[in-house]
Every structure is written in structure tokens, then in C-alpha cells.
Amino acid sequence: MKRLNMKFFWLGLALFFTATTWAAPPNVSSRAWVVIDQASGRELAASQADLPLAPASLTQLMTAYVLLGDIRKNKLSLGEMVTVPAAATQMDGSRIFLKAGDQVSVDTLLQAMLVESASDATIALVTAADGSEAAFVARMNREAKRLGMSKTRFMNATGLNEAGHESSARDLALLARALARDFPERLTFFIQKELPYKGITYYNGNRLLWRDSTVTGLKVGRTPQAGYCMAASAQRGDQRRIAVVLDAHSDTQRTQDALKLLNYGFENFDSVPLYRARQVVKVINIYRGEYPSVSMGFEQDFHLLVPRGSAARVKAEIMTQQPVVAPINRGQRLGTLRLTLDGKPLGDYPLVALQDVGVAGLFGRGWDSIRLLFAK
């Protein structure tokens, strides 16, 4: 489409939602909650999702995120033996009753943290990683900022109550998605139902692991200040959802609320993978470039969220800004993917250049200048 002066904007699903009858979100009693599509990160329903609240042991999702990064970088290893510091034995909250000077593997300590929310195991881990809890918490906050967790501030690595220690349902859903995306090989830690240690069997407080075979994690937590909290993920077929509930009144309520949200997400939406990251969507001709054309696409995997069962009725139209003149930088917006469903708009999504294209030599620039005159 020549000389189309496009404005790039995100409609998301807003226009379609207003024109379509949707099943209402479930009746959820927890104070704050959200359910998202794991693949795309799109939010399906929410209530007070940005409200800063005490996250209890859901804090340990970030503790795990940082530690798993250390393991990937060989700063720690699962088989490494850690000497339990005295500070770990003085912790409140859930514990596996470590003793100062005990030698315990990183693997066992991680399991204790994620199955039992063990604060003594958590302190042993973060001390081994950074020498002190304070140094480790600083890294937790840097990672939270990098992930876009704008309502989060960690004061400790355990989730025990402390003034200023807070997060939100939306931030914790972002974190849960990042764990699944960045450490898929470690997700077995989050579905472990029990941990035998020194003659005692500790059971995971995530009741959904027993109730629903599609549940793939992640974590529960509770303090008197935070109430009952849960971050739950599930996969049914090729669809994956994440639900977070904060400040429920009981274990039963947080379990029921999380399951309601997961069911709602699966029963009403399909997440459809349309393009892989850097997959060529369209090749367009360019002027004054060292190459005659440039490829357009998406820098990240592109998933479209649609009403369940409607994916086959989605129509696509590709529009480009013309003329396209070098130089072109990778990531530069060059076109639009317009999607509709049954004639109703789903959204306009920006297509970007997938590579740099420099300026042609003097002859090439001169020839294309003549071509541009006729193109106009």
C-alpha cells in the first residue's frame, strides 16, 4: 500500500472485547488476583492486580529465579555442599530444622525452600550465593526491576513479614512467567509434592498438585499479614495459564480461587502461536540500500489471544509504509499486521526490520533517487 502513513498502535483485544459477549470472570474472593496466558503474557482477567501487598513465601519465587541463574552461570551447582550458617537456624516461619555447621546440598536446600517454604534453607542458600541476605536481596530487586515488576520491593529473601516488603498479583504473574520461560528445565522443582529429610516428610502446600493433574506449579505462601497466597500454573494440551491470588482468607479459598481462574482462562481463550521470533513475515523492497530488500517480522514469539475455537476465522492483512528508504536499523518499525475476527478488529501489530541495511554507494543512491521521483 503506497504512501500509507501508518500510526503504530496497540489495540490489543480491547476493540474486540467491546464488540463480543464474553463469559464473566469467576467469582473470586481473594483480595487481589490475576490470570494470564503464559505464552503471550496477555492478561485474561484481574482484580486489584497492581495493589501492593505482602507476598509471603511467594517471595521465594524470586529467590529461586536468582539462584537458578547462578546455577546456570556455574556460580553454584546442585551437588555443591553448603555449610549452614548460624543465622539460618534462628529464622522464624517454616523450617526443616537445620543445624549450624550442617553440610547440605544446594539441591536439597532448593527443594526445601520450594516444597516447605523453609526459611532456614533459604538463608543457607542466599548466604552461600552472596555472603549475606542483604547482598542477595539487592540482586532480587535488580531482577524485579529488569522484569518490569513495578509494584515490588523485596526486603528479605524468605517472605517473612517486614515493613516495606511488598509485591502485587500482576508482578508475581510476570515473575512466574519468567521462571517458566527462562528456566524450563528446572520446573520440576515447582511440582514436587513432598520432600523426605532426616526422617520427616514435608508436603507441598499447593493442594492443586493433588487436585488437578494439569497443574505445573508454582508456590504457596502464608503469613498473618499476607493471608493465604498462591501462584499456580497449568498446561492443558498446548495451552498454558498462570493464576495468582493474594490475601485469601484460608487455604481452601486460595485453592478454589486459583482453580477457578485457571479454568476460566482455559475455557474461554485460545493462545495461538502465529510467528516465531525473527521469522520472516514479509520481504519488502527498499530504496538507496546496500541490499534491494529487507525482511519484516517480530523480535519475540508472537501469540494471538482469541475466543476459544475461533482461531480458524482470523484474517490477516499486512500493510507497509512506502517508500522505505535506507538506512534501516534492526527493530525499526516498517509495517503493520492487521488482524480481524469475523470482520471485527483484533488489533494492529507493528512489524519491524529483522536486520540492519546500510546505505548504498554513490551510483546506487543516485539511481534510486531517480526511481523515487517516479514512485512519488
Q: Which residues contact 349 (CB under 8 A, 6 or more apart)?
A: 10, 298, 302, 336, 337, 338, 339
127 and 249 share a domain? Answer: yes
Per-residue model confidence as pLDDT tens for the chain (376 residues): 333 333 333 333 443 443 344 567 889 999 999 999 999 999 999 999 999 999 999 999 999 999 999 999 999 999 999 999 999 999 999 999 999 999 999 999 999 999 999 999 999 999 999 999 999 999 999 999 999 999 999 999 999 999 999 999 999 999 999 999 999 999 999 999 999 999 999 999 999 999 999 999 999 999 999 999 999 999 999 999 999 999 999 999 999 999 999 999 999 999 999 999 999 999 998 888 898 899 999 999 999 888 898 989 999 999 988 788 889 999 999 999 999 999 999 889 999 999 999 887 665 555 556 565 565 5
Give the integer Cα–Cα distance in Å for 296 and 352: 5
- Would you state the pLDDT for residue 287? 82
With residue 273 as reference, give the H or E element that holds it.
strand 269-275
**Side-chain half-sphere exposure of 130, counting CA atoms within 13 A:** 18
Report yes or no on 46 lying in a domain. Answer: yes
32-37, strands of its sheet edge to edge: 43-47, 32-37, 239-248, 227-236, 215-223
CA distances 14 to 19, 241, 305, 344, 346, Å, are 9, 20, 12, 11, 8
Report yes or no on 18 lying in a domain. Answer: no
Give the amino acid at 274: L
Give the amino acid at 259: L
Range of 183's domain?
31-268
60 and 140 share a domain? Answer: yes
Torsion angle of C-alpha atoms 90, 91, 94, 100, degrees rounded to 10: -40
Nearest alpha-carbon partner for 54 in 144, 168, 211, 148 = 168
Alpha-carbon radius of gyration of the chain? 25
Q: Which of 268, 297, 332 is the last residue of a domain?
A: 268
113 and 192 share a domain? Answer: yes
DSSP string over 57-98: GGHHHHHHHHHHHHHHTTSS-TT-EEEPPHHHHT--SS----
pLDDT in tens, 192-221: 999 999 999 999 999 999 999 999 999 999
Contact between 165 and 53 (Cβ < 8 Å): no
140 and 171 share a domain? Answer: yes
Contact between 270 and 303 (Cβ < 8 Å): no
- Would you state the pLDDT for residue 24? 73
72 and 151 share a domain? Answer: yes
- Would you state the pLDDT for residue 8? 31
**What is the DSSP-derived secondary structure letter of residue 50?**
T
Contact between 220 and 208 (Cβ < 8 Å): no
114 and 243 share a domain? Answer: yes
**What is the DSSP-derived secondary structure letter of residue 25?**
P
The three grid cell numbers given for residue 280, joined into one nine-digit string:
520472516
**What is the DSSP-derived secondary structure letter of residue 197?**
E
- Would you state the pLDDT for residue 25? 84
DSSP string over 324-355: -BS-B-TT-EEEEEEEEETTEEEEEEEEEESS
Total domain count, the chain: 2
348 and 226 share a domain? Answer: no
- SS3 call for 249: coil
Q: Which of 216, 247, 268 is the last residue of a domain?
A: 268
259 and 336 share a domain? Answer: no
**What is the DSSP-derived secondary structure letter of residue 48?**
S
225 and 338 share a domain? Answer: no
Give the integer Cα–Cα distance in Å for 50 and 33: 9
- Would you state the pLDDT for residue 22? 52
177 and 72 share a domain? Answer: yes
Q: Which of 206, 236, 268 is the last residue of a domain?
A: 268
163 and 281 share a domain? Answer: no
Give the amino acid at 28: V
Give the amino acid at 320: T
CA distances 61 to 67, 144, 220, 250, 371, Å, are 10, 11, 10, 21, 58
The CATH number given to whatever domain includes residue 236 is 3.40.710.10
68 and 138 share a domain? Answer: yes
Report yes or no on 188 lying in a domain. Answer: yes
Report yes or no on 21 lying in a domain. Answer: no
- Would you state the pLDDT for residue 17? 42
The CATH number given to whatever domain includes residue 345 is 2.60.410.10
